[in-house]
Amino acid sequence: MKWLVLLGLVAFSECIVKIPLRRLKTMRNVVSGKNMLNNFLKEHAYSLSQISFRGSNLTTHPLRNIKDLVYMGNITIGTPPQEFQVVFDTASSDLWVPSDFCTSPACSTHVRFRHLQSSTFRLTNKTFRITYGSGRMKGVVVHDTVRIGNLVSTDQPFGLSIEEYGFEGRIYDGVLGLNYPNISFSGAIPIFDKLKNQRAISEPVFAFYLSKDEREGSVVMFGGVDHRYYEGELNWVPLIQAGDWSVHMDRISIERKIIACSDGCKALVDTGTSDIVGPRRLVNNIHRLIGAIPRGSEHYVPCSEVNTLPSIVFTINGINYPVPGRAYILKDDRGRCYTTFQENRVSSSTETWYLGDVFLRLYFSVFDRGNDRIGLARAV
């Protein structure tokens, strides 16, 4: 997320254990050639067209759009249920909320889980730490009943924060990770995997529709796809490796001139990031090309010029996904227009981009765990 995980440690009885990230064989390794790969995906695709919003197979859960910056939804934890606002995040795998024994100032400004009031609560002695780009937390792994709408996961392991730093200004209480289990820093099975394993959802897929211009109507859906939320066909993109929602991106261009990702690069499709994040040098070049002027931590353009700014085109698996100026420019509280391109604060040996909410407002996204792929289509 635009937090960008720097380090994750899991501690058991204060003994530090590293969580290994395994490189797995991908579908692209097994099936070579673009046409062969596309044919393979078509032959092995789920019959998503047969799953509709009317059926019992699809759970559609509303999300609140907060100023086009954050999309969050309600979940409940415990018996009787206690309600929390969380970000549904495809870049992380852990679910955590503040605990009532957290004394950090950030916890005091958010809803805290009162474990003594839940009859289904179960404590463990396993602790963990996560450091994000803009904060850090320490938590303890516990178990309880978690509900996402009508989806119920009993004895679900999750984290309760006992220390939080850098989250004081966040409007949401916690995070619900939807990435693969191998990158869980708490070591707990993610809620999507547990729901999948207990057959609470008919197909191992989930999807996002993010509304524009601060409007209502944003949703995350589990177990299928509501086709009213996008136009045309879904374009399927295989993951670079099974275990992370990252895909290969061909290039980034403006007016047919390549400006970044010239030799291909990695793109993480990230619902927990509000911006489009990339390497500092390349982000600075984009700002130079569109005439953005730095001021503080942001880059600004005259609001009168937004509609004349060039589209920035992200080419993924041979398909162009243009992002126009009116999409990558937002207004701050003073009515000034700033860009949503941000530099990645974490150095990487390979060129990596995070396609956050700016991109996903334009393109409906489907995350297919069964086939290790992402589907993209123009959002309505």
**The predicted structure's pLDDT at residue 133:** 65
Residue 41 reports pLDDT greater than 90 = no
Q: What pLDDT sits at residue 212?
A: 94
Model-level pTM? 0.86
Read off the pLDDT of residues 153-168 as tens digits, 9 standing for 90 and up.
999 999 999 999 999 8
Residue 44 pLDDT:
42
DSSP string, 199-255: T-SSSSEEEEE--STT-S-EEEEESS--GGGB-SPPEEEEBSSTTSSEEEEEEEEET
Output the CA torsion sign for 159, 164, 165, 171.
positive
Catalytic site residue from 68, 89, 357, 372? 89
The candidate with the shortest Cα–Cα distance to 339, out of 380, 260, 278, is 278
Q: Indicate if 368 belongs to the active site.
A: no
Tokens of 185: 């820093």
How is 142-199 classified by DSSP, letter by letter?
EEEEEEETTEEEEEEEEEEEEEEES-TT-SSSEEEE-S-GGG-SS-PPPHHHHHHHTT
Q: Name the CATH topology of 230-379.
A: Cathepsin D, subunit A; domain 1 (2.40.70)
pLDDT digit string, tens, across residues 321-358: 999 999 999 999 999 999 999 999 877 789 999 999 99
Residues 357/71, Cβ–Cβ less than 8 Å: yes
Give the three-state DSSP class for 262: coil
Class (C level, CATH) for 60-200: mainly beta
pLDDT at site 169: 87
Least confident of 53-62, 130-139, 198-207: 53-62
Query: What pLDDT, on the 0 to 100 scale, is given for residue 348?
Result: 79
Give the C-alpha separation, 235 to 247, whole Å: 13
The pLDDT-based confidence of 6 (bands split at 50, 70, 90) is: very low
The answer to whether 60-200 and 230-379 have equal CATH topology is yes
Map out the domains of the chain as residue ranges.
Answer: 60-200, 230-379
pLDDT at 46: 43
Cα–Cα distance between 201 and 153 in angstroms, integer? 11
Extract the tokens encoding 259: 């400006």
94, 173, 270, 368: the catalytic one is: 270
Using the predicted structure, report yes or no on whether residue 31 has a pLDDT greater than 80: no
Query: What pLDDT does 178 receive?
Result: 98
86-111 average pLDDT score:
96
pLDDT for 132 equals 74
Is 270 a residue of the active site? yes
User: How would residue 1 be classed by pLDDT, with cut points 50, 70 and 90?
Assistant: low
Structure tokens at 355: 């396609």
Average pLDDT on 99-128 reads: 96
Q: Which of 5-9, 11-15, 45-49, 150-154 has the highest mean pLDDT?
A: 150-154
Look at 193 and 21; give whichever has higher pLDDT.
193
